[in-house]
Amino acid sequence: MPKEYRTIRGDVALPYKWALGKTWTRFFDGLKEEKILGTKCTQCGKVFVPARTFCPVCLSDMAEWVEVKPEGEILTWTFVSAKYYGQVKDPPYIIATIKLVGTDCGFHHFIGGVDLSDAKQVRQKLKTGTKVKAVWRPEKKAEILDIAYFAPLK
């Protein structure tokens, strides 16, 4: 009979700071002014948000800055109802990949302005292609949550 090993529960805290560099610093500073900034590839013309230093498609420098509309459409989304370690907010909530107007990538953020008490109604309201608009929090801190969430357009 194989030996049965037990486990014990423990939590590991790992405080750290990310160096944002000049590109992400400018991106987050833009959020503080209610601007969503991306960069445009000088070779293939693709626009990425958050801004990037180099193009993930053709690896060229992305020196051209663009401000994109705070609107887009949902590419995919999920309803999070389970609590787990490390979440930035308590469930339930919806997280989505949003294609902002004029960009060539997905932007991950929360969806709000939706009644989360009935999952069936949530599924009826949110579809791939649902148009959404950024809702800004009142006090900005140059953080991703300066955009409180994206709300479906009526």
Residues that bind Zn ion (CB under 5 A): 41, 43-44, 55, 57-58, 60
Torsion angles phi and psi, residue 116, rounded to 5: -90, 5
- C-alpha distances in angstroms, 111 versus 26, 72, 152? 24, 12, 8
State the nearest-atom distance from the C-beta of 101 to Zn ion, in Å: 19
| Closer residue to Zn ion in complex, CB, 60/87 | 60
In angstroms, the CA 108 to CA 147 distance is 11
State the nearest-atom distance from the C-beta of 47 to Zn ion, in Å: 10
| Closer residue to Zn ion in complex, CB, 45/91 | 45
Residue 133: helix, strand or coil by DSSP?
A: strand
State the nearest-atom distance from the C-beta of 62 to Zn ion, in Å: 7
Residue 67: helix, strand or coil by DSSP?
A: strand
| Closer residue to Zn ion in complex, CB, 54/79 | 54
